[in-house]
Amino acid sequence: MQATKNKYCFFDLACEGKQYDRILYELFYNDCPKTSNNFVELCRGKTKNKMGETLTYEGTVINRIVKDGYIQGGDLKRIGVSKQF
């Protein structure tokens, strides 16, 4: 990891209070600095939108994991909906 000199961030996965694995993401700031920075800010959860709501991946749902492929999830708009139930 250190040989690439890229930065990394991670998600700790949990379901119904049970901790699962950690997913490590390598960020390519040289290729896409804005996207990388936005991703880090959503991971940290310290940024707020115009309505004062915290923008974060915490509490979002992973919709699908494709082995040796990709992970789909992170729908921030659905967080408010899921908290109402």
In sequence order, the 6+-apart residues with CB closer than 8 A to the CB of 61 are 73, 75, 78, 82
pLDDT value of residue 20: 87
22-48 confidence digits (pLDDT tens) = 888 999 999 999 999 999 998 888 888
Predicted confidence at residue 78, as pLDDT, reads 55
User: What's the alpha-carbon Rg for the chain, to the nearest Å?
Assistant: 14
**This model's pTM is above 0.75:** no
- Rounded to the nearest integer, the mean pLDDT of the chain is 82
Q: In the block, which residue shows the tokens 């490590």?
A: 24
Which structural domain range is residue 44 located in?
Answer: 2-83
Alpha-helix runs per DSSP H in 24-76: 33-44
Number of domains in the chain: 1
pLDDT attached to residue 84: 38
Q: Which two tokens stand for residue 19?
A: 């901790």
